[in-house]
Amino acid sequence: MAASPYLLLLLLVLHWPAAAPGTASSPPPSEPPHSPPPQKVQVWPKPTSISWQSSVYAPLSPSFSIRAVPSHPTLRDAIAFYTHLIRTERHAPLVPPGNYTVSRVPIRLLALSVSDPEVPLGPGVDESYTLSVLPDSGSADISAATSWGAIRGLETFSQLAWAGGGPDSGGQSIVPSGIEISDRPHFTHRGILLDTARNFYPVRDILHTIRAMAFNKLNVFHWHITDAQSFPIVLPTVPNLANFGSYSPSMRYTENDVRRIVRFAASFGIRVIPEIDMPGHTGSWAGAYPDIVTCANKFWAPRAKPALAAEPGTGQLNPLNPKTYRVAQDVMRDLVALFPDPYIHGGADEVNTACWEDDPVVRRFLAEGGTHDHLLEVFINATRPFVTQELNRTVVYWEDVLLGPKVMVGPTILPKETTILQTWNNGPENTKRVVAAGYRAIVSSASYYYLDCGHGGWVGNDSRYDKQEKEREGTPLFNDPGGTGGSWCAPFKTWQRVYDYDILHGLNDDEAQLVLGGEVALWSEQSDETVLDGRLWPRAAAAAETLWSGNKGSTGKKRYANATERLNDWRHRMVGRGIRAEPIQPLWCPLHPGMCDLSQ
Amino acid sequence: MAAKNGGSLALFLVLCFLLTSPPLARGDTPFPINVWPKPTSMSWAEPHMAVRVSSSFCVIAPSANTHLLAAAHRYSALLRSERYRPLVPPAANLTAAAAGGKAAELRRLTLAVSDLHAPLQHGVDESYSLEIPPTGGEATLTAATAWGAMRGLETFSQLTWWGHAAGYRRAALQLVVAAGVRVYDRPLYPHRGLMLDTGRTYIPVDDILRTIDAMAANKMNVFHWHITDSQSFPLELPSEPALADKGSYGEGMRYTVEDVKLIVDFAMSRGVRVVPEIDSPGHTASWAAAYPEIVSCAGKFWLPDASDWPNRLAAEPGAGQLNPLEPKTYEVLSNVINDVTSLFPDGFYHGGADEITPGCWKSDPSIQAYLANGGTLSQLLEKFVGAAHPLIVSKNRTAVYWEDLLLDQAVNVTPSTIPRETTILQTWNNGANNTKLIVQAGYRAIVSSASFYYLDCGHGDFVGNNSVYDDQRSDYDTSGGSWCGPYKTWQRVYDYDIAGGLTEEEARLVIGGELAMWTEQVDAAVLDGRVWPRASAMAEALWSGNRDAAGRKRYAEATDRLTDWRHRMVGRGVRAEPIQPLWCRSRPGMCNLVR
**Cβ pair B464:A598 closer than 8 A:** yes
Contacts of A493 in chain B (CB under 8 A): 460, 480
Residue B132's CATH number:
3.30.379.10
Please give, rounded to a whole number of angstroms, the shortest distance from the CA of A403 to a CA of chain B: 17
Which range of residues forms the domain containing residue B80?
41-185
Is B5's pLDDT higher than 80? no
In a domain, B399, yes or no: yes
Quote the pLDDT of residue B170. 53
Quote the pLDDT of residue A168. 82
Q: What are phi and psi of A464, to 5 degrees?
A: -65, -25
Select from B469, B502, B553, B554 the residue whose CB has the most chain A CBs within 10 Å, as the one to mutate to test that interface.
Answer: B469
Quote the pLDDT of residue A221. 99
- For A36-63, the pLDDT digits (tens) are 444 479 999 999 999 998 899 999 999 9
B152 shares its domain with B265: no
User: So where are chain A's domains?
Assistant: 49-183
Query: CA geometry: angle at B390 spanning B387 and B394, to 5°?
Result: 140
**Residue B156: its H or E element:** helix B146-158
Contacts of B454 in chain A (CB under 8 A): none
Judged by a CB distance cut-off of 8 A, whether residue A488 touches chain B is no
Quote the pLDDT of residue A8. 35
In a domain, B466, yes or no: no
Q: Is residue A41 within 8 Å of residue A93, measured between CB atoms?
A: no
In a domain, B508, yes or no: yes
- For A90-148, the pLDDT digits (tens) are 999 999 998 899 999 999 999 999 999 999 999 999 999 999 999 999 999 999 999 99
**Residue B128: its H or E element:** strand B128-132
Quote the pLDDT of residue B171. 56
Is B22's pLDDT higher than 90? no
Quote the pLDDT of residue B478. 72
In a domain, B294, yes or no: no
Judged by a CB distance cut-off of 8 A, whether residue A329 touches chain B is no
Quote the pLDDT of residue B476. 64
Quote the pLDDT of residue B95. 62
Q: Which of A454, A491, A589 sits opposite B464 (nearest CB)?
A: A589
Look at residues B153, B170, B185 and tell me which one is the last residue of a structural domain. B185
Contacts of B483 in chain A (CB under 8 A): 481
| A380 or A37, higher pLDDT | A380
- If DSSP codes are grouped into helix, strand and coil, which group holds residue A517? strand
Quote the pLDDT of residue A18. 35
How far apart are alpha carbons B155 and B247 in whole angstroms? 42
**Residue B217: its H or E element:** helix B205-217
B125 shares its domain with B197: no
Interval A306-328 mean pLDDT: 98
Please give, rounded to a whole number of angstroms, the shortest distance from the CA of B183 to a CA of chain A: 27
Is A365's pLDDT higher than 50? yes
**Cβ pair A460:B431 closer than 8 A:** no
**Structure-derived torsion over alpha carbons of residues A285, A289, A295, A299, reported in degrees to the nearest 10:** 60
Nearest residue on chain A to B305, alpha-carbon basis: A599
Quote the pLDDT of residue A36. 40
**Structure-derived torsion over alpha carbons of residues A92, A96, A97, A99, reported in degrees to the nearest 10:** 110
**Cβ pair A455:B432 closer than 8 A:** no
Q: Which of B299, B494, B522 sits opposite A583 (nearest CB)?
A: B522
Q: Which of residues 47-66 of A touch B (CB under 8 A)?
A: none
CA B432 to chain centre: 20
In a domain, B46, yes or no: yes
Q: Measured over all CA atoms, what is the biggest interatomic distance in chain B, rounded to whole angstroms?
A: 92
How would you classify the pairing of strands A107-114 and A440-443?
unpaired
Amino acid letter for position B238: P
The CATH class, in words, for A49-183 is: alpha beta
Judged by a CB distance cut-off of 8 A, whether residue A255 touches chain B is no
Nearest residue on chain A to B569, alpha-carbon basis: A530
In a domain, B259, yes or no: yes
Judged by a CB distance cut-off of 8 A, whether residue B307 touches chain A is no
- For B182-198, the pLDDT digits (tens) are 999 999 999 999 999 99
Please give, rounded to a whole number of angstroms, the shortest distance from the CA of A245 to a CA of chain B: 10
Quote the pLDDT of residue B368. 98
B157-171, B326-340, B447-461, B557-571: which has the minimum mean pLDDT?
B157-171
**Cβ pair A481:B462 closer than 8 A:** no
Other Cβ atoms less than 10 A from the Cβ of A3: the count is: 11
Interface size, chain A vs chain B, as Cβ–Cβ contacts under 8 Å: 352
Q: What are phi and psi of A442, to 5 degrees?
A: -115, 130
The listed range with the strongest mean pLDDT (A13-27, A471-485, B2-16) is A471-485
Confidence tier at A23 by pLDDT (50, 70, 90): very low
Angle, helix A539-549 to helix A203-215, in steps of 10 degrees: 40
B385 shares its domain with B453: yes
Query: CA geometry: angle at A517 spanning A414 and A408, to 5°?
Result: 25
Residue count (chain B): 595
**Cβ pair A481:B483 closer than 8 A:** yes
B416 shares its domain with B279: yes
In a domain, B301, yes or no: no
Percent of chain B beyond pLDDT 70? 92
How far apart are alpha carbons A303 and B536 in whole angstroms? 31
Q: Which of residues 349-408 of B touch A (CB under 8 A)?
A: none
Please give, rounded to a whole number of angstroms, the shortest distance from the CA of A150 to a CA of chain B: 31
Contacts of A534 in chain B (CB under 8 A): 525-526, 529
Interval A186-205 mean pLDDT: 98
The answer to whether residue A350 is catalytic is: yes
Interval B89-115 mean pLDDT: 78
B398 shares its domain with B516: yes
List B140's β-bridge partners, or say none.
B110, B131
**Sign for the pseudo-dihedral over CA of A6, A7, A12, A16:** positive
In a domain, B82, yes or no: yes
Nearest residue on chain A to B466, alpha-carbon basis: A598
Active site residues of B: 355
What is the DSSP secondary-structure string of A385-451? HIIIIIS--EEEEETHHHH-SSS---GGGS-GGGEEEEE-SSHHHHHHHHHHTT-EEEE--HHHHBT
Nearest residue on chain B to A228, alpha-carbon basis: B583
How far apart are alpha carbons A242 and A197 in whole angstroms? 11
- If DSSP codes are grouped into helix, strand and coil, which group holds residue B443? coil
Contacts of A303 in chain B (CB under 8 A): 594-595
8-state DSSP, B252: T
A20-24, B153-157, B547-551: which has the minimum mean pLDDT?
A20-24
B366 shares its domain with B219: yes
Burial label, A85 (beta-carbon count in 10 A; 0-12, 13-18, 19+): middle
Region label for B474, one of left (φ > 0), alpha (ψ between -120 and 50) or beta (otherwise): alpha
Residue B546's CATH number:
3.20.20.80
Query: CA geometry: angle at B219 spanning B424 and B541, to 5°?
Result: 70
Judged by a CB distance cut-off of 8 A, whether residue B562 touches chain A is no
H runs (alpha helix) in B253-326? 257-268
Confidence tier at B172 by pLDDT (50, 70, 90): confident
Is B87's pLDDT higher than 70? yes
| B471 or A542, higher pLDDT | A542
Query: CA geometry: angle at A326 spanning A320 and A328, to 5°?
Result: 85
Interval A559-570 mean pLDDT: 96
B434 shares its domain with B549: yes
Confidence tier at B11 by pLDDT (50, 70, 90): low
Contacts of A578 in chain B (CB under 8 A): none
Quote the pLDDT of residue B264. 98
Contacts of B431 in chain A (CB under 8 A): 468-470
Please give, rounded to a whole number of angstroms, the shortest distance from the CA of A132 to a CA of chain B: 33
B417 shares its domain with B384: yes
Q: Which of B297, B487, B553 sits opposite A454 (nearest CB)?
A: B487
H runs (alpha helix) in A279-371? 322-338, 353-357, 360-367
Quote the pLDDT of residue A504. 98
B421 shares its domain with B512: yes
Judged by a CB distance cut-off of 8 A, whether residue B592 touches chain A is yes
A163-167, A202-206, A244-248, B446-450: which has the minimum mean pLDDT?
A163-167
Interval B99-113 mean pLDDT: 83
- If DSSP codes are grouped into helix, strand and coil, which group holds residue A34? coil
How far apart are alpha carbons B167 and A592 in whole angstroms? 66
Amino acid letter for position B193: G
Cβ neighbors of A155 (< 8 A, separation 6 or more) are A82, A214, A215, A217
Is B18's pLDDT higher than 80? no
Q: Measured over all CA atoms, what is the biggest interatomic distance in chain A, rounded to whole angstroms?
A: 85
How far apart are alpha carbons A194 and A221 in whole angstroms? 8
**Cβ pair B304:A470 closer than 8 A:** no
Other Cβ atoms less than 10 A from the Cβ of B137: the count is: 16
List B487's β-bridge partners, or say none.
none
How far apart are alpha carbons A68 and A109 in whole angstroms? 10
Quote the pLDDT of residue A315. 98
Q: Total domain count for chain B?
A: 2
- If DSSP codes are grouped into helix, strand and coil, which group holds residue A273? strand
Is B252's pLDDT higher than 60? yes
Q: Which of B458, B520, B594 sits opposite A491 (nearest CB)?
A: B458
How far apart are alpha carbons A359 and A365 in whole angstroms? 10
Query: CA geometry: angle at B126 spanning B128 and B511, to 5°?
Result: 145
B151 shares its domain with B225: no
Judged by a CB distance cut-off of 8 A, whether residue B472 touches chain A is yes
**Cβ pair B318:A580 closer than 8 A:** no
How far apart are alpha carbons A270 and A264 in whole angstroms? 8
Is A5's pLDDT higher than 70? no
Average pLDDT taken over every residue of chain A: 93
**Cβ pair B525:A494 closer than 8 A:** no
Confidence tier at B15 by pLDDT (50, 70, 90): confident
Q: What are phi and psi of B162, to 5 degrees?
A: -90, 115
H runs (alpha helix) in A252-298? 255-267
B80 shares its domain with B200: no
Region label for B156, one of left (φ > 0), alpha (ψ between -120 and 50) or beta (otherwise): alpha
Burial label, A249 (beta-carbon count in 10 A; 0-12, 13-18, 19+): exposed
How far apart are alpha carbons A307 and A323 in whole angstroms? 26
**Cβ pair B581:A199 closer than 8 A:** yes
Quote the pLDDT of residue A416. 98
**Cβ pair B298:A301 closer than 8 A:** no
Q: What are phi and psi of A535, to 5 degrees?
A: -75, -35
Contacts of A483 in chain B (CB under 8 A): 478, 485-486
